[in-house]
Amino acid sequence: MSASYYMKKGIPKLSSGKNSRNAVIIPLMILQYGSLKAKYKAMSTTKPLMVASIKNLIKSAKSLKHNKTNAKAKIDQTTLDQLESYAKELSVSQIAYTKINPNYIYKGFHTQGRYAMMLTMNMDKLAIKSAPSLPATEEIWRTYASLGDIVNKLADFLRQRNYNCHPSPAIGGDVVTPPMGQDAGLGALGKNGLLITPEFGPSQRLAALFLDFEGLPIKTPEENKHLWIKDFCETCNRCVDKCPGNAILKQTRIESDGHPTYINREKCAPMFSKNCCTCIAVCPFINGNYQLIKKAFEKKQAIISNNQTQN
């Protein structure tokens, strides 16, 4: 759902860009393409988490009514440190900041803020590596629900101190979070469409808190040291080969909104509704050491480059 309806007049908002993509609402996508039988089997344990996720989504949108026209324009370091400490207490795994690229805002959506505080929550690897399984699905919905609750609590923290903000949960939010996580320097986009980080591989979920005040340690996309992961994915293709729905492509396809993607969502949704997250479970970055993978990849690329030079 778009939060624009609850935005007050007189408070600046950032509109989607000319190259923005259509919104992807996961529950609706599953209903459209997924398996009703599979969803019914999982409903007894995942329903409370799904309901909590949706409630948090609605709460985050309605909370925009509490933003003020006379809010503070700059955050002090002490308050920022307190905000981050509170986020860690709430089980946030990573925090990073970036300027919002309007093209990452879903078409027709808006954000009340020019900057984003990107938040990740690590998923339990044993549960995820059991995919396709009910424990894996439960873990995914646990992080969706938890991050939704967390961004609302962080928003309350800031508003109590007269700072405006816009909480955007991990599910049904206002932006495409993986590329924003990449811009913030947390990791890089994998062929499975997920953010891959050195700490957790693709085994995490992302949420955001949009902010419109200065004093933030903003990262620029050019500072990201993890973009080699994109080249690695082009040579790996393990998620492509192991996807039970053949939903991940070796080459990009163009979506109806003009955006390139490796994911066929019509094929992905039915498998996701059957407790699949195989693309996370088989990724080398969930099983291996980031630095060792990087070192081996760079060595292999150097050999290939040397051979090409000699030929």
Query: 297-310: per-residue pLDDT in tens?
Result: 999 998 888 887 77
> Percent of the chain beyond pLDDT 90?
73
CB 208 within 8 A of CB 118: yes
Cα separation, 195 vs 182, in Å, equals: 7
What local confidence, expressed as pLDDT, does residue 219 receive? 92
Note the Cα 9 to chain centre separation in Å.
Answer: 29
Find the length of the chain.
311
Per-residue confidence band for 113, with pLDDT thresholds at 50, 70 and 90: very high
Per-residue confidence band for 33, with pLDDT thresholds at 50, 70 and 90: low
Query: Strand 188-189 to strand 195-196: parallel, antiparallel, or no bridges (unpaired)?
Result: antiparallel
Cα separation, 248 vs 189, in Å, equals: 14
> For the chain, how far is it from start to end, CA to CA, in angstroms?
56
Domains of the chain: which residue ranges?
A: 7-223
CB-neighbour burial class of residue 36 (10 A; exposed 0-12, middle 13-18, buried 19+): exposed
Average pLDDT, rounded, for the chain: 91
Note the Cα 126 to chain centre separation in Å.
Answer: 21
Name the DSSP letter for residue 123: P
What local confidence, expressed as pLDDT, does residue 83 receive? 98
Q: What are the pLDDT digits (tens) for 74-112?
A: 999 999 999 999 999 999 999 999 999 999 999 999 999
Note the Cα 134 to chain centre separation in Å.
Answer: 22
